[in-house]
Amino acid sequence: MRKYQQLVLLVISCLSVGILLMYKTENNRLKYVLKYVNFFGRNDAAVLRRLENGTKDDLPQAAMWRPLPVWQMIGDSFHAYSAFWIRNELVAGGEAHVLVVGKKGAVVDFRCSLDLLNGRSVQGKFRFQRDSSEPPVDDKLSNFTSYHFFCQVSRDFGQPGSVSFTDITSTKVPVKLRLRSIKPKTQGKESKVSANQSRLPATICVDLVGFNSTSRFARNENAILQFFLFHQALGIDHFLVYNYDDLPEEVIRVLDRTNIHLVGLPFNFPFQQTNGTVSRVRQLIHNDCLLRNVNQAGFTLLLQPNELFFPNSRFTADGTKGSVQQQLRHFSSETTRFELATMSVCYDENGKFLPDNSQYDPERRAPYKLLLNRLELPPSQLLASTGEVELALSAAFVHRYVDCDHVGRDGLHDWRNGVRQDFMEHINGLRNEVHLLI
């Protein structure tokens, strides 16, 4: 009898523990729900859209990294990063376009062939040109020269999977590079519609190669996180991160829980990087960024994590006002580059949100132009394009967060004084959205 009572007591205590645990998890779940109800209470459509779909959908863009670019040797003196197949638009044939650096002064003499997916290999015509960023006269600042290598064919043999280069002056061993295929813009009206439906409004290429990793900004993970969240609030979800290994682990971990897509790309640059090579290395990344985004996005821009892009509206139309795309469509289609005014804003690590940094140094100039690129031209003309306009400050600008240890003679100014009220409200709206997330 006693044993029976003991058993009953045991069962009852087990039940109570079970019920306790159940209530605890229910309570947690309730808290979670309440947190989201708070968002609903704000009725903030942009935030909702991002929270409802917590899982990452695998769009075709997921393959933006394929084939993975990587610096590999072709011959004794040259390295190639990425290779693109660009079929001709109106006539038969096409060409492989390869981003290459070579030792300064090395003789360029190659043979090339295209390896078709059906197993055949066809001889191509090799040609090359120096990148437009190369100075006309050889300078002493660097040991390398940037080139574009091309391998052309003038007939339609089928889709090539890779291109091979043989350095005739040295090894004479062919090196195979996988091709990323860029489809030409189709002429038909129907296919055009479906094409822009599947395109992303915009992407950002993130330059961690030139990024100053000893600045105060770089040592603050919260600031780097905000770089991604602010651009996401604008409607940009896809980031191509060059030298991805330098992105802090903690930032990746947090972003993994959001709808942000990070495309990690290596950048094992084979030459020594010095002051004099900064702009050329940036140009290389810019070229890869443009070619990689063709047919994937409407716009792209190359930023370092301490550069925040502020257009006066979002990329995705939110009803009240024209989106960035709609505003920029007013420019002729030849205009493919929009130069953005850049302010050097003093970064204070105690300010919680980036737009709260209000002082800028008007005398401190950015070392390079920041461009918003429209990706509508045929890929073969994309890199050579010169159609460039300066965007008005009332349309967009970039804040570049810097350490203000040496301030110019003119002193610091408050950037908010020059910004119209509706633009300021828009920036505050973005700030509040990011505030909800961190």
Tell me the window of 84-92, 180-188, 190-198, 302-310 that interacts with ligand NAG (CB under 6 A).
190-198
Site for ligand NAG in 20-79 (CB under 6 A): 52-53, 57
Cβ neighbours of residue 71 under 8 Å, at least 6 residues apart?
79, 80, 81, 101, 267, 268, 269, 270
Q: Which is nearer to ligand NAG, 221 or 252 (CB)?
A: 221
The nearer residue to ligand NAG, 137 or 193, going by C-beta atoms, is: 193
Closer residue to ligand NAG in complex, CB, 215/385: 215
When the beta carbons of 221 and 431 are compared against ligand NAG, the nearer one is: 221
Enumerate residues 198-227 that contact ligand NAG by CB under 6 A. Answer: 212, 214-215
In angstroms, give the least distance from the CB of 277 to ligand NAG.
8
- 265, 270, 272, 273 alpha-carbon torsion, rounded to 10°: -30
187 binds ligand NAG (CB under 6 A): no
User: Alpha carbon 160 to chain centroid distance?
Assistant: 27
Among 27, 196, 394, 428, binds ligand NAG (CB under 6 A): 196
Question: CB of 203: closest distance to ligand NAG in angstroms?
Answer: 18
- Contact flag: residue 169 with ligand NAG (CB under 6 A): no
CA 338 – CA 329 distance, rounded (Å): 12
**In the beta sheet, which residues pair with residue 38?**
none
Q: Give whichever of 28 and 198 is closer to ligand NAG, judged by the CB atom.
A: 198
Cα–Cα distance, 70 to 80 (Å, whole number): 8
Cβ proximity to ligand NAG, 34 vs 193, nearer residue = 193
Nearest distance, CB of residue 190 and ligand NAG, angstroms: 10
Residue of 72, 143, 316, 358 that binds ligand NAG (CB under 6 A): 143
Residue 299 C-beta: closest distance to ligand NAG, Å? 13
Residue 273 C-beta: closest distance to ligand NAG, Å: 8
Determine the Cα–Cα distance for residues 125 and 114; give it in Å rounded to an integer: 10
Distance CA 255, CA 372 (A): 24
- In the complex, the smallest distance separating the C-beta of residue 336 from ligand NAG, rounded to whole angstroms, is 14
First to last CA, the chain: 60
Among 25, 43, 197, 320, binds ligand NAG (CB under 6 A): 197
Q: Which is nearer to ligand NAG, 154 or 212 (CB)?
A: 212
Strands 359-360 and 307-311: unpaired
Rounded CA-CA distance 69/178 in Å is 9
Question: Any contact of residue 193 with ligand NAG (CB under 6 A)?
Answer: yes
Residue ranges that bind ligand NAG, judged by CB under 6 A: 52-53, 57, 142-143, 193, 196-197, 212, 214-215, 272, 274-275, 403
